[in-house]
Amino acid sequence: MCGIIGYVGGRPCYELIVRGLEHLEYRGYDSAGFALLDAERDRFSLVRSVGKLEDLRRASNGSAERLAGPTTGIGHTRWATHGRVTLENAHPHLSGDGEVAVVMNGIIENYVDLRHRLQDEGVVFASETDTEVLPHLIRKHYAGDLVAAVRAVLAQIEGHYAFVASHVSEPNRLVAVRHECPLVVGVGTEETFVASALPAFLGETRDVIYPDNDELVVVDADGVTVLDLSGEPVVREPSTWEGSEETAEKGGYDTFMLKEIHEQPAALWDTIGSRLGADGTVTLDGIGLEDPTLARVERVHIVACGTSFHAGLAGRYLIEDWARIPVSVEVASEYRYRTCLAGPGDLVIGITQSGETADTLAAMRVARERGAHVVALTNQTESQATRDADGVLLTRAGLEIGVAATKTHTAQIMALALLALKLGRMRWAITEAGARELAEELRRLPDAIEAYLESPAPAAVADVAAHFVERDFFLYLGRHVGVPVCYEGALKLKEISYVPTEAYPAGEMKHGPIALLDEGSPVVVVAPDGHVFDKVVSNIQEVRARGARVIAVATEGNGEIASHADHVLWAPRTPALLAPITTIVPLQLFAYEIAKGKGLNVDKPRNLAKTVTVE
Ligand code: AGP
């Protein structure tokens, strides 16, 4: 979380830095700030504000003249970890004499100890943050060489971080370093950017260096040098980013989330791409395992967080049913601290759209150390996950800006379906005819969702949601593949509308959650056609008998559900195991409409950030 950026070059950098931060704002938007090195006055021009980037621009308004000159600067957009959301805690942080400025993403775990030691030496802290130890420590070790000072500090700090440091006495220089947090370098013509992620500078340059952990990136007016911790140069040639520019545009939609919901057909199409033959043959280049080895996989372990975890849960049904391989799915933050029993012969899939989630990366690392074959299922080609894994399975959903994941979720399930089909064919768990049929169904899905999104169905979802905008609690129930859909639907609602939700397997309802229900309580029941449909209908009867109002998510054309539910949200018809891809769409829209009805900012929900790079 948090976005950092730095620039050294020939152009005035105020606009480059603030625009770069706007492209990083999905990483955090509690506060923002920048420090531009004003060489003439031998000091930093520091502007910070609580709130979003538009607030930072407003805060800069009065200083236009002062900010027009500098050509070296650093900036930050914050997701608060240590210290409340206040101006004092906004980055950049400066040393007491104002000579050193630092922006950081991550956590310095031993900051309390370092802070006490510095305080004993007379240092006065201006913020509650862990980051602030960095400018003070760098200042303490500075003897005319910023690189040497940063190296000295690296020997003292523990944690996971990426930071950029600047010193007033070295006006055309920045020193940056990463340790388990992302940092990329953009090499332009006589100018260089460092940032947390590519979108920060893709509009300016596509030549990129990806430094490794604990490498020092020294940016000067005449270019970049990468050093190892002992100060020895490391050769790192830039490579050209071949992807699209992926600028954050809403393309006529009110919000990124709505745009991204509507981009799901394209995301699904692109994720299928040329991987799926009409005969059901699946080619997954990059997965890092030859087919015969893949066919012998004994167990699959899926590790992920949040929405990606829910995609993993949906994928389990596909892999177990189509390929007959046992699958475990676990929240990465728990998996990483359990006794890991994965080993050679096991396939571990880390699902992370950003490729940066700290817990997922750690869980993948643990499994890799045990000798399992680790695959990153991600939407980001050059992310940490792709670098840490033995193989990669890419979703091709395009940049997702909305904090609430939508199109990456359905693309993740599609990628897992492709893998399941491949495994199933290789292990002869699916017949040739069966594979052909499934291939057809998978290819039909994007069009079916497109037709759904263009039909009156989304407007009908809005009408239903309008009845429930004021409700203060929702229970989500489902069975079988409906369970992950409930989890995901409930997460969508709570994260963008701040309404408490509970999501449960419907069979478990009588073991506790039914006590939550009251006259009029809204219960969302995921009830697609399939072998548990009748069971779900029984559960609907049970909650209605307690006065609950049922909003059912059902398969288009089902003639029975309307008589059991108060409202029906229709989803395109699909084979039962693929229902998580279709039934989540009306629930994304339902959550969206409730949040809009409440007048909330769905793209930037409170307290959240798009990527969670701290554990
Ligand atoms: C999704 O709506 C959430 N914002 C969140 O749960 C997210 O899915 C989670 O943080 C995992 O992110 P990742 O896929 O980038 O690892």
CATH class of residue range 457-597 = alpha beta
Between CA 503 and CA 490 the distance in angstroms is 6
- Token pair, residue 442, equals 């998978």
Do β-strands 159-167 and 173-179 pair in parallel, antiparallel, or remain unpaired?
antiparallel
Q: Respond yes or no: is residue 486 known to be catalytic.
A: no
Cα separations (Å) of 18 from 67, 427, 604, 605?
A: 11, 53, 18, 21
Q: What is the pLDDT of residue 63?
A: 86
Instruction: Give the side-chain half-sphere CA count within 13 A for 377.
Output: 29
Phi-psi map region of 165: left, alpha, beta (phi>0 left; psi -120 to 50 alpha):
beta
Q: What is the mean pLDDT of residues 241-260?
A: 79
Per-residue pLDDT at 597: 97
Is the pLDDT at 247 greater than 90? The verdict is no
Please provide the CATH number assigned to the domain covering 256-454. Answer: 3.40.50.10490
Cis preceding-peptide flag for 92 (omega within 30 of 0) = yes
546-555 as b/e, with b when 16 or more CB fall inside 10 Å?
eebbbbbbbb
SS3 assignment, position 207:
strand
In angstroms, the CA 381 to CA 155 distance is: 31
| pLDDT class of 241 with cuts at 50, 70, 90 | confident
Report how far residue 128's alpha carbon sits from residue 142's, in angstroms, rounded to the nearest whole number: 23
**CA 405 to ligand 1 centroid distance, Å:** 6
CA distance 122 to 416: 56
* Pairing of the two strands 346-352 and 299-304: parallel
**Which 8-state DSSP code applies to residue 556?**
T
Give the per-residue pLDDT at 451. 97
Ligand 1 mean position to 305 CA, how many Å?
Answer: 6
Tell me how far apart the terminal alpha carbons of the chain are, to the nearest angstrom.
10
For residue 70, CA distances in Å to 39, 62, 65, 217, 380 come to 7, 16, 10, 21, 33
Residue at 152: amino acid letter: A
> What Å distances lie between residue 100 and 59, 149, 247, 387, 397, CA to CA?
22, 11, 32, 32, 40
Domain ranges of the chain: 3-248, 256-454, 457-597
Ligand 1, from 303, 309, 353, 410: best to mutate by most atoms within 8 Å of Cβ? 353
Model pLDDT for residues 358-394, shown as the tens digit of each residue: 999 999 999 999 999 999 999 988 788 998 999 999 9
Q: What is the pLDDT of residues 396-418, one digit of tens each?
A: 999 898 999 999 999 999 999 99
Q: Does residue 489 have its Cβ closer than 6 Å to ligand 1?
A: no
Cβ neighbors of 562 (< 8 A, separation 6 or more) are 568
State the amino acid at position 585 in one-letter form: V
Strand runs (DSSP E) across 418-528, as ranges? 474-478, 501-505, 522-527
User: Would you say the CB of residue 495 lies under 6 angstroms from ligand 1?
Assistant: yes
Residue 568 Cα to ligand 1 middle (Å)? 28
In the prediction, which pLDDT does 179 show?
92
Domains 3-248 and 457-597 share a fold: no
**Is the distance from the beta carbon of residue 383 to the nearest atom of ligand 1 less than 6 Å?**
no
Pick the residue whose CA is nearest to atom 10 on ligand 1.
306
Query: How many residues in total does the chain contain?
Result: 615
**Residue type at 567?**
H
What's the 3-state SS for 322-388?
Answer: HHCCCEEEEEHHHHCCCCCCCCCCEEEEEEECCCCCHHHHHHHHHHHHCCCEEEEEECCCCCHHHHH
Comparing 128-132, 286-290, 320-324, 493-497, the range with the smallest average pLDDT is 286-290
Task: Compute the distance from residue 413 Cα to the ligand 1 centre, in Å.
Answer: 14
Q: Which CATH architecture has domain 3-248?
A: 4-Layer Sandwich (3.60)
- Per-residue pLDDT reduced to its tens digit, 307-352: 999 999 999 999 999 999 999 999 999 999 999 889 999 999 999 9
Respond yes or no: is residue 340 known to be catalytic. Answer: no
305 CB within 6 A, ligand 1: yes
The two structure tokens encoding residue 43: 């000091």
398 neighbors 244 (Cβ within 8 angstroms): yes
Tell me the CA–centroid distance for residue 256 and ligand 1, in Å: 16
Using CA positions, which residue lies closest to atom 8 of ligand 1? 307
Measured CA to CA, the distance from residue 280 to residue 303 in angstroms comes to 27
Q: Is 357 in the pocket of ligand 1 (CB under 6 A)?
A: yes
Mean pLDDT, the chain, integer:
94
> 251 pLDDT exceeds 80?
no
Work out which ligand 1 atom sits closest to the CA atom of 408: 14
